[in-house]
Amino acid sequence: MEQRKLGRNGPQVSALGLGCMGLSFAYGLAVDKQQGIALIRAAVERGVTFFDTAEVYGPYANEELVGEALAPFRGQVVIATKFGFDLDPETGAQRGLNSRPEHVKQVAEASLKRLKVEAIDLFYQHRVDDQVPIEDVAGAVQDLIRAGKVKYFGLSEAGVQTIRRAHAVQPVTALQSEYSLWWREPEREVLAVCEELGIGFVPYSPLGRGFLTGAIDENTQLGKNDFRNSLPRFSPEARKANKTLVELLRGIAQRKGATPAQIALAWLLAQKPWIVPIPGTTKLQRLEENLGAASVKLSAEDLREIENAATKIEVQGARYPEHLQKLVGR
């Protein structure tokens, strides 16, 4: 698979990574451990070298799964994980944010053990913590880098001023934020700042949490533990209204001999050479479908057609409920 450089001074990774969250968290029941390991190793066999996890996924279970699955491939893959939530040590329940320097360092030590690595390749602040100056957070990660426990520093869902302030203390290698044809907010300011500062951009939910694959409509029943049930954009009314975007992708896909998911991912890959999407899945056939997007080439004319049609479609429904929306873009 094509390789891309993550940021001006970051690592080389596969053009498409694997978001591992859904194997343990958010979309209903966790998969069987051996099934999860098999899927992650299948991704390696198909050329994926970039894997994304976080302590909060599970919590803890996803890092343990990724650590075990990738143990045979040390030095061949790049693993990203995240800090920044305050988790109850007994139950793992989220109690808010915590990016105090001493906590960041404690999380790093625990993540190293779960991932079975000597250094965390890419350590993201999961959400900006208004109670801790970002300079202190960047300084804590800088200490970890100097100690050889972390290689690169990242931010997730940070606003442009936070990015600039953090980068002035410790260069930011990558920003991970939601970005897809149905959430294009990063185009307003963030992508330009990433380009200026030489920061790679890692879109999560590049398939709109599964919606852009065309497999979900207003009649789809999501499991009772599925996080998407809480998202306004996944109300039945919004799903019905947002099918227009999927139809656009389906029309282009038919012409290209591809699938809607592949067109959505190919569109992201075509935006900038330093963008590395991390679609997630629990199924081998979906993994293969997603990775096939790296071979789909969209011409300038294709991209213009998508742009012209997409700008006429107003996506319905907020991407997060209000209490979660307050945590992004800070």
Q: What share of the chain is helix, strand, coil (3-state, %, to 5)?
A: 45, 15, 40
- Spatial separation of the C-alpha atoms in residues 112 and 81, rounded to whole Å: 10
- 60 among known catalytic residues: no
Residues 6+ away with beta carbon under 8 Å from 146: none
- Which entry of 57, 124, 179, 204 is annotated as an active-site residue? 57
Where does 84-226 show beta strands of DSSP type E? Answer: 85-87, 94-97, 120-125, 150-156, 172-178, 200-204
Give the span between the Cα atoms of 92 and 86, in whole angstroms.
9
- CA-to-CA separations, 105 to 125, 244, 265, 286, in angstroms, rounded: 12, 46, 35, 36
Q: Which residues pair with 248 in a beta bridge?
A: none
Q: How far is CA 220 from CA 91, 223, 226, 309, in A?
A: 32, 10, 12, 26
Separation in Å, CA 1 to CA 4, 145, 294? 10, 29, 7
Query: What are the residues whose beta carbons fall under 8 Å from the beta carbon of 58, sequence distance 6 or more?
Result: 24, 25, 30, 64, 92
With contact defined as beta carbons under 8 Å apart, do 52 and 278 qualify?
Answer: yes
Closest CA to 127 of 177, 79, 172: 177
Instruction: Tell me whether the omega of the peptide bond preceding residue 101 falls within 30 degrees of 0, making it cis.
Output: no
- Residues marked active site are found at 57
